[in-house]
């Protein structure tokens, strides 16, 4: 199976093309390809042609990550392994990524407040499809269009292709068509499907996106039915659902869960706690894409720097008045733009302070007595 891969001489038993290996990837000479299934400190669990095992990071990988944490291997990465004399493998390089989920220098602490962790964090890579799961009903609320807009923006920003899945379609039988139309207008240019994982309705439509061994993640709020959908796709229980977790009383964090889940018919799902908790990313480009209809309107405003807040000749306000543009959507655009701007400012500030810190260290080094200067 491996004869047409760049490593030629290597042969094994796992068909890496089913894990998404493709011709656009190429390896340094003498190395062996593998896909990262999970990361631990200083090592990764990888799947290579001859099985799944741990590979420690080489000195080169550790150095690169010390300079830039985004260079750390993450789930979904394709990597080059070096075979050590004693037969073990060392992870020696991360191959170029086609897409990446990066969390900015901000995280939520346990009390739900914001805390700056001072570093970007890479959560997942090489994701082709981003399923945005939103339940048709969430306790007593209807699907939240604002949340869909936010997650679709994150999806575009990652470089993957967003697909919206309206889950728990059985809870909303009357007027589902109207709901789907609303969702479609919140995510222009994005496919929208209704799914019921209980009956299996729509699951095949979702699976079809993974044809050709594509890799997907599922974003969505707690209780959206993500685990139930993954199980339906896998045709077996690979993820504990809320019901199971409640019934055995162990709580969700005690279950060791797999993070890169190969599906029987080909294709993979990435499901990590980090991806599940996605909140804030740098997403200014994604916001522009998800609100492309408003961006188009804004191009017709009389003033190039129109703030769409009552200026004369504002095409956005005109569309609002004619009913062409729902007020909710304009509010959502303002809100996500503010958030994106805040994130951008925040990561600029972070970069500046990192630069200052680097220079302080360099100056200190230079002042050390007896130190030879370059
Ligand atoms: N009626 C109905 N209930 C569903 C459907 N899919 C999932 N559920 C139920 O919704 C609840 C939450 O489902 P999960 O799959 O655990 O949700 P999740 O998105 O993985 O939740 P977190 O793990 O907390 O992020 C469970 O009780 C499921 O049985 C569906 O299609 N219809
Ligand atoms: Zn305007």
Q: What gap in Å lies between CA 183 and CA 193, rounded to an integer?
A: 10
**Cβ neighbours of residue 51 under 8 Å, at least 6 residues apart?**
12, 13, 14
Low-confidence ranges of the chain (pLDDT < 50): 1-11, 105-118, 249-256, 280, 371-374
Q: What is the pLDDT of residue 133?
A: 94
Ligand 1 pocket test, candidate residues 195, 220, 223, 279, most atoms within 8 A of CB: 223
Interatomic CA distance for residues 352 and 346, integer angstroms: 10
How many angstroms does the Cα of residue 133 sit away from the middle of ligand 1? 11
Half-sphere exposure of 103 (CA within 13 A, CB side): 21
Distances in whole angstroms, Cα of residue 193 to Cα of each of 91, 196, 269? 39, 10, 18
- Provide the annotated binding site for GTP: 167-170, 220-228
Contacts of 326 (CB under 8 A, 6+ apart): 185
Give the global pTM. 0.75
* pLDDT of the residue at 289: 80
CATH number of 100-276: 3.40.50.300
Q: What is the topology classification, in CATH, of domain 284-367?
A: Ribonucleotide Reductase Protein R1; domain 1 (1.10.40)
pLDDT of residue 114: 39
- As for the ipTM of the complex, it is 0.96
pLDDT computed for residue 244 by the predictor:
56
pLDDT value of position 265: 80
How confident is the model at residue 349, as a pLDDT? 58
Annotated domain spans of the chain: 16-94, 100-276, 284-367
- Would you state the pLDDT for residue 1? 36
pLDDT, residue 323, reads 94
Fill in the DSSP letter of residue 308.
Answer: S
The reported pLDDT for the residue numbered 234 is 87
Measured from the Cβ of residue 207, the count of other Cβ atoms closer than 10 Å reads 19
Domain 16-94 classification at class level: mainly beta
Does ligand 1 lie within 6 Å of residue 223's CB atom? yes
């Amino acid at each position: 199976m491996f004869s047409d891969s760049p490593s030629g001489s290597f042969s094994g038993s796992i068909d890496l093309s089913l894990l998404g290996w493709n011709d656009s990837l190429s390896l340094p000479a003498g190395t062996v390809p593998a896909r990262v299934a999970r990361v631990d400190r200083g090592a990764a669990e990888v799947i290579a042609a001859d099985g799944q095992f741990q590979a420690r990071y080489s000195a080169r990988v550790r150095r690169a990550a010390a300079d830039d944490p985004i260079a750390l291997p993450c789930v979904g990465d394709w990597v080059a392994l070096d075979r050590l004399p004693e037969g073990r493998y060392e992870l020696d390089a991360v191959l170029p990524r086609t897409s990446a989920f990066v969390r900015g220098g901000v995280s939520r602490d346990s009390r739900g407040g914001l805390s700056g962790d001072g570093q970007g964090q890479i959560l997942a890579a090489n994701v082709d499809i981003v399923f945005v799961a939103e339940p048709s009903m969430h306790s007593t609320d209807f699907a939240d269009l604002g949340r869909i807009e936010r997650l679709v923006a994150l999806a575009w920003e990652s470089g993957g292709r967003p697909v919206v899945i309206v889950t728990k379609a059985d809870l909303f039988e009357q007027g589902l068509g109207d709901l789907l139309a609303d969702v479609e207008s919140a995510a222009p240019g994005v496919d929208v499907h209704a799914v019921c994982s209980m009956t299996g309705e729509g699951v095949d439509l979702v699976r079809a996106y993974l044809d050709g061994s594509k890799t997907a993640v599922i974003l969505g709020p707690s209780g959206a039915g993500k685990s139930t959908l993954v199980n339906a796709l896998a045709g077996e229980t690979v993820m504990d659902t809320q019901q199971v977790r409640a019934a055995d009383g162990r709580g969700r964090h005690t279950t060791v869960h797999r993070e890169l889940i190969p599906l029987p018919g080909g294709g993979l799902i990435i499901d990590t706690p980090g991806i599940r908790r996605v909140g804030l990313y740098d997403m200014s480009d994604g916001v522009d894409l998800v609100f492309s209809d408003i961006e188009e309107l804004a191009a017709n405003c009389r003033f190039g720097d129109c703030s769409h807040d009552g200026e004369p000749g504002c095409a956005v306000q005109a569309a609002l008045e004619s009913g062409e543009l729902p007020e909710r959507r304009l509010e959502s655009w303002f809100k996500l733009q503010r958030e994106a701007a805040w994130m951008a400012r925040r990561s600029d500030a972070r970069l500046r302070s990192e630069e200052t810190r680097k220079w302080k260290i360099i100056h200190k080094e230079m002042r050390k007595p007896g130190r030879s200067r370059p």
